[in-house]
């Protein structure tokens, strides 16, 4: 019996298998709007057999975007096209999630095709960024403004409004993006947070902002729908955030009603040394799952059905998230089922190619 193709129920959502398309920036939006590219991109992976597609980092405010090409959900007008996408995904017996995001100091960058360099606030497609402290991500880049009480309250309200829109648009899962050096990671990591107030200093203070936002999102998001949080389990840098910190944070997130910890790593400082290799982040998902007693998702250079099956059988994670592999193979789950000799339903239109 394949665990990879066994169902998993979280709240009232049933995942038909354990295969998830990880959220990945497409840099293809104008003013935050989804378009036909996003419909085809996410829709084709639903056709391909994944249980859940998590939409790319979707900004809760214009200043929360990484680039001016990022998707957004900061105004009601964004809902209509998003609803078309969610409706199509649901026709494929699949679920769709949205990753609500704020990039903090890692906002206001050029598109990758244009060099991915920081854009100064007074330049075209640039804006003033915010963070926990006025520390730029890279030396020489324009510094962010440290969020004051008013700014922190605005972010909370932006997440509340975005969560309401996500519900109207028909998403099945909300994931709060608190990884990869973006705003919440900038608060909880001591490498980016030099504050002296109730949001800085101690571990409890540094995680406060994420917990406060998680609490209001959970209150706004329907009880029957799952809530995920993506974290960076380690900064991979001495003096930074650690896996032990992540376990303690995950316990608190679970107490607030978070259903799964999407376990990634790094991204908070440019000089981190990351030992990238197949499955290199899986041990973090396993430790959080076992020590915090919470469901986890494993991500990072997981590229085969056999590798995925082993991770699940060894109890190291509950869901497997595929990023680059899902870009290379939109129909990866169908190939994986064949590899594991599992009989799964193919889309009616494609059944003739099953054998």
Rounded distance, CA 244 to CA 224, Å?
30
- Contact criterion met (CB below 8 Å) for 183 and 61: no
Written as one string, the DSSP assignment of 22-35 is PP------BTTB--
Place of tokens 């949205």: 98
Considering the candidates 182, 199, 322, 331, report the single residue annotated as catalytic: 182
- Contact criterion met (CB below 8 Å) for 320 and 298: yes
Establish whether 27 is a catalytic residue: no
Which DSSP category does 41 fall into? H
129: left (phi over 0), alpha (psi -120 to 50) or beta: beta
Name the nearest CA neighbour of 175 among 149, 210, 137: 210
Q: What's the distance, CA 98 to chain centroid?
A: 8
Place of tokens 């109890």: 315
Place of tokens 């002296």: 196
The first and second tokens of residue 315, run together, are 């109890």
* Vertex 66: Cα angle to 63 and 71 (nearest 5): 85
Residues designated catalytic: 182
């Amino acid at each position: 019996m394949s665990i990879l193709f066994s169902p998993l129920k979280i709240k009232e959502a049933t995942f038909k298998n354990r295969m998830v398309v990880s959220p990945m920036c497409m840099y293809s939006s104008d003013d935050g709007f989804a378009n036909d590219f996003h419909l085809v991109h996410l829709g084709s992976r639903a056709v391909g057999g994944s249980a859940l597609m998590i939409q790319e980092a979707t900004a809760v405010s214009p200043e929360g975007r990484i680039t001016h090409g990022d998707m957004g959900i900061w105004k009601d007008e964004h809902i209509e096209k998003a609803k078309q996408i969610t409706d199509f995904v649901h026709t494929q017996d699949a679920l769709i999630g949205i990753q609500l995001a704020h990039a903090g100091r890692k906002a206001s960058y050029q598109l990758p095709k244009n060099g991915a360099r920081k854009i100064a606030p007074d330049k075209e497609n640039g804006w003033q960024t915010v963070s926990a402290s006025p520390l730029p991500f890279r030396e020489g880049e324009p510094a962010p403004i440290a969020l004051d009480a008013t700014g922190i309250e605005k972010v909370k309200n932006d997440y509340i409004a975005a969560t309401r829109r996500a519900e109207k648009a028909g998403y099945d899962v909300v994931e709060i993006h608190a990884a990869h050096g973006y705003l919440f990671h900038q608060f909880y990591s001591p490498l980016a947070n030099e504050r002296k107030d109730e949001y800085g200093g101690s571990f409890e203070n540094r995680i406060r902002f994420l917990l406060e936002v998680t609490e209001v999102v959970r209150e706004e998001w329907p009880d029957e729908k799952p809530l995920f949080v993506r974290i960076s389990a380690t900064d991979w840098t001495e003096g930074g955030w650690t896996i032990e910190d992540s376990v303690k944070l995950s316990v608190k997130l679970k107490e607030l009603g978070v259903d799964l910890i999407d376990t990634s790593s790094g991204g908070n400082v440019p000089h981190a040394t990351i030992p990238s290799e197949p499955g290199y982040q899986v041990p973090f998902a396993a430790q959080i799952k076992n020590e915090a007693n919470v469901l986890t998702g494993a991500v990072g250079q997981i590229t085969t059905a056999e590798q995925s099956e082993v991770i699940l059988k060894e109890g190291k994670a509950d869901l497997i998230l595929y990023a680059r592999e899902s870009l290379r193979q939109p129909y990866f789950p169908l190939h994986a089922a064949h590899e594991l000799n599992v009989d799964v339903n193919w889309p009616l239109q494609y059944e003739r190619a099953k054998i």
